[in-house]
């Protein structure tokens, strides 16, 4: 993905505010668990097992949801009947989703295939929309599927597939919704504790994410900045972001670090005095 020179007129601006909060938990990127943890209401079709067996089954389900300690306590405090209802609801949902798109292998094959076709110029509009639909589906899966989906995606080096796609994009793809959706997949992966640790431990991930600031697509820029802002709140993350911005300075041939961000803010607010 090569940086592109901007025209003098620009295409709109970028305005954002970072708010930092003191917290012992790692920051979530975008998605939040609803406080009521609403699940589809249903009458269990099977008789409820004994309390000990139910607690064991329910514990496995809660582990797959990768909840914070606060939400785990709330789940385990539910009455047995509610636990059984939730368990049956989630298992029914998993049975209904046993299609090709519920397997990480499917998405990794699709990502590799898309990355091999480096340009959008030869694609019909329907094909481009179908590619974006697939990536959006992966984003949803990383956010909603059980933990084993995320673990399998990580084990199959799915993150590297996304990063390779980002690195290989031509200008048209860089400015498309596909780029925004790919960054969204990384955000969804980082909203999971294992996924977040995997992204942060990857030797190139933050640098490649930073390279996406070279786009003119405001939605993509904002998504990248949301990731980088959240990484700053993780222990050792601030240093990673500073190093990534140094990398971006070289990548985009900036005269000074943060030049692109300052220019974007200036185009948005006109506050910089020359």
User: Are the C-beta atoms of 7 and 258 separated by less than 8 Å?
Assistant: no
DSSP secondary structure of the chain = ----PPPSS-S------------SSPPP-S----TT--------SS----HHHHHHHHHHHHHHHT--HHHHHHHHTS-HHHHHHHHHHHHHHHHHT-SGGGSHHHHHHHHHHHHHS--STTS-HHHHHHHHHHHHHHHHHHHHS-HHHHHHHHHTTHHHHHHHHHHH--HHHHTSHHHHHHHHHHHHHHTSHHHHHHHHHSSSHHHHHHHGGGSS-HHHHHHHHHHHHHHHTSTTHHHHHHHHHHHHHHHTT-SSTTHHHHHHHHHHH-----
> 234 and 145 in one domain?
yes
> 59 and 130 in one domain?
no
In a domain? residue 110: yes
> 240 and 199 in one domain?
yes
> 108 and 92 in one domain?
no
In a domain? residue 180: yes
User: Are the C-beta atoms of 62 and 13 separated by less than 8 Å?
Assistant: no
Q: Would you state the pLDDT for residue 221?
A: 95
Q: Would you state the pLDDT for residue 231?
A: 96
Q: Which of 262, 224, 263, 238 is nearest to 29 (CA)?
A: 224
Q: Would you state the pLDDT for residue 93?
A: 67
> 218 and 198 in one domain?
yes
> 139 and 79 in one domain?
no
The domain tally of the chain equals 2
> 215 and 92 in one domain?
no
> 127 and 65 in one domain?
no
* Averaged pLDDT in 10-residue chunks for the chain of 274 residues: 44 37 44 44 67 81 76 84 81 60 87 77 69 94 88 95 94 93 96 92 96 95 96 94 96 92 78 52
How far apart CA 102 and CA 158 sit, in angstroms, is 14
Q: Would you state the pLDDT for residue 6?
A: 41
User: Are the C-beta atoms of 66 and 53 separated by less than 8 Å?
Assistant: no
In a domain? residue 37: no
> 60 and 74 in one domain?
yes
Q: Would you state the pLDDT for residue 20?
A: 35
> 105 and 230 in one domain?
yes
CB within 8 Å of 197: residues ≥ 6 apart: none
In a domain? residue 229: yes
In a domain? residue 267: no
> 235 and 153 in one domain?
yes
Among 75, 96, 117, the domain-final residue is 96
What does each C-alpha distance from 185 to 69, 78, 118, 147 come to in angstroms? 25, 32, 19, 15
pTM of the predicted structure, to 2 decimals: 0.67
In a domain? residue 21: no
Neighbours of 269 (CB within 10 A): 11
> 200 and 89 in one domain?
no
In a domain? residue 22: no
Among 42, 65, 96, the domain-final residue is 96
CATH number, domain containing residue 214: 1.25.10.10
Q: Which domain holds residue 76?
A: 51-96
Q: Would you state the pLDDT for residue 55?
A: 80
Among 30, 61, 96, the domain-final residue is 96
Q: Would you state the pLDDT for residue 18?
A: 37
In a domain? residue 9: no
């Amino acid at each position: 993905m090569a940086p592109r020179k901007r025209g003098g007129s620009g295409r709109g601006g970028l305005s954002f505010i970072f708010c930092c909060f003191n917290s012992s938990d790692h920051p979530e990127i975008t998605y939040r668990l609803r406080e009521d943890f609403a699940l589809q209401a249903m009458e269990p079709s099977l008789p409820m097992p004994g309390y000990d067996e139910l607690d064991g089954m329910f514990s496995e389900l809660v582990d797959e949801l990768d909840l914070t300690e606060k939400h785990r306590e709330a789940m385990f405090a539910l009455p047995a009947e509610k636990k059984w209802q939730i368990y049956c609801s989630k298992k029914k949902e998993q049975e209904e989703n046993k299609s090709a798109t519920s397997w990480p292998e499917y998405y990794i094959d699709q990502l590799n295939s898309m990355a091999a076709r480096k340009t959008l110029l030869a694609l019909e509009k329907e094909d481009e929309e179908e590619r974006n639909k697939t990536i959006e589906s992966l984003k949803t899966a990383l956010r909603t599927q059980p933990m084993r989906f995320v673990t399998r995606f990580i084990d199959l080096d799915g993150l590297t597939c996304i990063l390779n796609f980002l690195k290989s994009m031509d200008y048209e793809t860089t400015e498309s919704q596909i780029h925004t959706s790919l960054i969204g997949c990384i955000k969804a992966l980082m909203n999971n504790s294992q996924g977040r640790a995997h992204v942060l431990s990857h030797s190139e991930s933050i640098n490649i994410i930073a390279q996406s600031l070279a786009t003119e697509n405001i939605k993509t820029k904002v998504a990248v900045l949301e990731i980088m802002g959240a990484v700053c709140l993780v222990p050792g993350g601030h240093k990673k972001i500073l190093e990534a911005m140094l990398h971006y300075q070289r990548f985009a041939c900036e005269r000074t670090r943060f030049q692109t961000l300052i220019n974007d803010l200036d185009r948005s607010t006109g506050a910089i005095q020359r």
